[in-house]
Amino acid sequence: MQVSPATLKAWIGDGDELAILDAREEGEFGRSHLFWAIPCPLSQKELRAPNLVPRKATRIVCTDGGEGYAATLAHWLTGQGYSDVHVLEGGAPGWKAAGHVLFSGVNVPSKAFGEWAEHHYGTESLDPPELKALMDSGKPMVILDSRPLDEYRRMSIPGAISVPGGELVYRIGEFAPDADTTIVINCAGRTRSIMGAESLRRAGVPNRIVALRNGTMGWELAGFTCDRGKTRSYTPGTPPGAALALERAGNFARETGVKTIDAAGLAALRADASRTTYCLDVRAPAEYQAGHLPGFRHAPGGQLVQATDQWVAVRRARIVLTDLGDGARARMSAAWLRLLGGWEVFVLEGAAAPLETGPEPAPAVPPAPTISVAELAARPGAHVIDLARSIDFRDGHIPGAEWGVRTRLSAPPAGVPLVVVTAPREALAHLAAADLAALTSAPVRVLEGGTAAWAAAGHRLEADRQVPADAACIDFYLRPYDRNTGIEEAMREYLSWEIDLVHEVERDGDAGFGRL
């Protein structure tokens, strides 16, 4: 069933649950999309849709760039038992033609929220030259990088320590035990710098706390050099000052209307078929894998606030957070989610269910025949198709492998003796293998363990930053420093875009930040 832009605009504000799913690949989505649209690319629909929209009676509107992908996604969702699925007439172009605002970029609601938070709370920030002068002054200070460790490794401010945003309030006692230490928070651009600094400020940390304006990009644009490959981070385990962190986080959570819930209350929410309930564990990856509650997905707290659309697609849903500890980290993330969106947010307390270990369970998909690394190494002439993210393929792939997106694959070359599919998530490789079997008469196999297993066995990887070319990276919205040309110009454009988001959001009118 098609819906007009006017109808969808009314639905966004009517207070009922709604998910807007964009069927394009992330790079395509990032060029122009609705504010509350969530990327659910056709190539990964089986893997993403069940987590993004767990309740099949949820009202869903599918959209695209006018190519027809939305209708394909809607048809598939209906076939999976979703009962209230619609397609936006004309997709994003139709939305714009109706006089509504479109946004470029990814994680737009979260990034716009960061700009709102800076304006609303008056977050203090300093420019790179000011930070350099502070570093040279010898005054007590610490620079904390609020991104995940993999991003920190790529580029970091000299001397900075990786403390992802969801850990900052919990672990600040390790790095600034006295109030005389100036705390500088940075990320690659703006959002996580602002949110990290403001988290400490909202929690009542008494130090001078500042965000590095424009992050590592601003640092390099100012003529300074970033470090590469650093691994400095916090000490795992319960930190000094954990009790004080809980008190501080609890105050912020109460101010924003975060609720607490016990195991019985959680069971009641899960049994309520009239509402959507997301269950998320906000701890670090190693902690999650060491033991987590059944049914809780992994969503590290800082990233959950920075990129909420990776986990939560349904507006007005319920969100239950846990950190399986005293609740300080869960409370900080919950408070920001309350301010960011129209969600009802809970912190789980006292859960004692048996824990599961390891990563999140992979979704069940029809299995395809597999091949081991040793068998592939002994089969010269095999045609390897790699479904990794384009930027990860650039960093390393099996020699001779072809990069591709599952739903955009062409038939393998005629006469190849064997087609092998590799992907970071084997479920995606199995889905693609079934697709490819219809395009070739050659046998199709899934590589056991993927490219990671190939490298672990000591086999060589190829790397080429030029392949795929920037224009071909439809699966990933390239950050300025991922590009091969025009990097400085892209950095400046990106930072200007972030700063202007607050004005575009006001023009759009659908955000509602800070409304409790």
The reported pLDDT for the residue numbered 362 is 84
For 118-128, what is each residue's pLDDT tens digit?
Answer: 999 999 999 99
| Contact yes or no for 318/277 (Cβ under 8 A) | yes
The reported pLDDT for the residue numbered 480 is 93
For 142-155, what is each residue's pLDDT tens digit?
Answer: 999 999 999 999 99
Q: Measure the CA–CA gap between 297 and 261, rounded to whole angstroms.
A: 18
The reported pLDDT for the residue numbered 361 is 87
The reported pLDDT for the residue numbered 39 is 98
The reported pLDDT for the residue numbered 341 is 87
For 40-62, what is each residue's pLDDT tens digit?
Answer: 999 999 999 999 999 999 999 99
pLDDT band for position 353 (cuts 50, 70, 90)? confident
Q: Measure the CA–CA gap between 177 and 44, rounded to whole angstroms.
A: 45
Placement of tokens 């859960």 in the chain: 351
DSSP 16-35: S-EEEEE-S-HHHHTTSB-T
Q: Measure the CA–CA gap between 514 and 198, rounded to whole angstroms.
A: 14
In CATH, the architecture of 2-105 is 3-Layer(aba) Sandwich (3.40)
Q: Measure the CA–CA gap between 164 and 312, rounded to whole angstroms.
A: 20
Helices (H), 296-389: 301-306, 328-340, 373-377
Q: How many angstroms separate the Cα of 383 from the Cα of each of 290, 400, 417?
A: 37, 8, 8
CATH 3.40.250.10 fits 370-472, yes or no: yes
The reported pLDDT for the residue numbered 89 is 98
Q: Tokens representing 279? A: 């269950």
DSSP 226-293: -B-S---BPPSSSPTTHHHHHHHHHHHHHHTT-EEE-HHHHHHHHH-TTS-EEEEE-S-HHHHHH-B-
Instruction: Provide the residue ranges of all domains of the chain, joining segments of one domain with +.
Output: 2-105, 112-240, 252-348, 370-472
Residue 352 has pLDDT above 80, yes or no: no
| Contact yes or no for 391/482 (Cβ under 8 A) | yes
pLDDT band for position 202 (cuts 50, 70, 90)? very high
Q: Measure the CA–CA gap between 136 and 157, rounded to whole angstroms.
A: 14
Arithmetic mean of pLDDT over the chain: 96
The reported pLDDT for the residue numbered 177 is 92
Q: How many angstroms separate the Cα of 150 from the Cα of each of 81, 217, 226, 285?
A: 38, 16, 15, 12
For 244-294, what is each residue's pLDDT tens digit?
Answer: 999 999 999 999 999 999 999 999 999 999 999 999 999 999 999 999 999
Burial 26-35 (b: 16+ CB within 10 A, else e): bbbbbebbbb
Which phi and psi (to 5°) does residue 110 adopt? -65, -40
The superfamily CATH assigns to domain 252-348 is Rhodanese-like domain (3.40.250.10)
Residue 320 has pLDDT above 90, yes or no: yes
- pLDDT above 70 as % of the chain: 100
pTM, to two decimals? 0.96
| Backbone region of residue 229 per phi and psi (left: phi > 0; alpha: psi in -120 to 50; beta: other values) | left
Give the distance, in angstroms, between the CA of residue 353 and the centroid of all CA atoms in the same chain: 28
Tell me which residue of 457, 393, 390, 384 sits closest to 422, measured CA to CA: 384
For 79-103, what is each residue's pLDDT tens digit?
Answer: 999 999 999 999 999 999 999 999 9
**Are both 2-105 and 252-348 of the same fold?**
yes
| Contact yes or no for 87/22 (Cβ under 8 A) | no
Which phi and psi (to 5°) does residue 100 adopt? -95, 165
Determine the CATH number of domain 112-240: 3.40.250.10
Higher-confidence position of 350 and 38: 38
Residue 130 has pLDDT above 80, yes or no: yes
Residue 333: helix, strand or coil by DSSP? helix
| Contact yes or no for 171/131 (Cβ under 8 A) | no
User: What percent of the chain is helix, strand and coil (3-state, nearest 5)?
Assistant: 40, 15, 45
Which pairs count as long-range contacts for 223-226, CB under 8 Å and 24+ apart, including other chains? 224/128, 224/132, 225/158, 226/155, 226/156, 226/157, 226/158
